[in-house]
Structure 1
Amino acid sequence: MVDIIIWIIIVALFVVSFIGVIYPIIPSVLLIWIGFLLYQFGINGDELGFFFWTIMVVFTVILFVADILANSFFVKKFGGSKWGERGAAIAVIVGSFIIPPFGIIIIPFITVLIIEMLQKRTIQEALKASIGSLLGFLSGTFAKVIIQIVMIILFIFNIIF
């Protein structure tokens, strides 16, 4: 009975981790790790070995780096400034609370547009940088979803096989 309750909690943590992709304030990867640890210490401490934990650490690092690099890459590629990059990062968090889930797309776009306009950029340059922030966020989000799915699949395969 206890195992069933732990499994329900693990599955719930995995599901909520994907909500964290839309609401960045929810620590997605931390929830996945809590699920892994619940299994390790609550169900079977022998199945998840050193190799599994090493791979999960690597994927966790990749998850953080991919998100940061995607946003930075696209804002730079589309002519955005450092202030535009920083503004976009903050606006994603703020936007998750304003008209969710659309705020995480709209608020960074508007923020970067305003920041770039304040730096005396033309409207075309500011719009281009804003589109870069949008593409950066979307590609980072896509990467996070894929990496989280891979982490969960590896967890399941590790348990089954």
Structure 2
Amino acid sequence: MKTLQVERLTRAAFAPFGEVIELDGARHFAINGGTTERYHDLARVDVTEQGGRPLINLFRAQPRALPVDITMLERHPLGSQAFIPLRDEHYLVVVAPAGEFDPAQMRAFWTDSWQGVSYARGVWHHPLLALDRVCDFIVVDRGGEQPNCDEISLTEPWRLQFEITAELVAPA
């Protein structure tokens, strides 16, 4: 079985696939008479292709048992898709660049607590990979009449390989 090494999720490492949604380093300022701190423009929402419209959803991900084997990926060719966890949870992200799928280009990431991701239009990704318990996510997605989800089955499974170490979870 092929293996895929899990790395820490950072803005730089994830840039080819979309954006990391996090407060650290975000533009922010006070609003509402100073009673609220606004963290502004955390990710681009790209959903209007072919008459699409934004949707706000809640996804409830069931925890996966270890080891995690990757057997399929999906993509959304008409819009981006953003996942924002509602609790301080770690989860795994598996992606591959947009375009023709190349398994050699897959990457896997371990999220720091409170990090979300926004997959760019057409980026291949695995469905949610919650680890320890049920995880809820707000998902900003594309709605519209056209089909917007392609799935691919891998010719052989890839096993995620990682140890939860200080290096994996420590801030950069």
TM-score by length of 1: 0.24
Higher strand share: 2
The structure whose Rg is larger is 1
Question: Relative contact order, CA 8 A, sep 6+: which one is greater?
Answer: 2
Higher helix share: 1
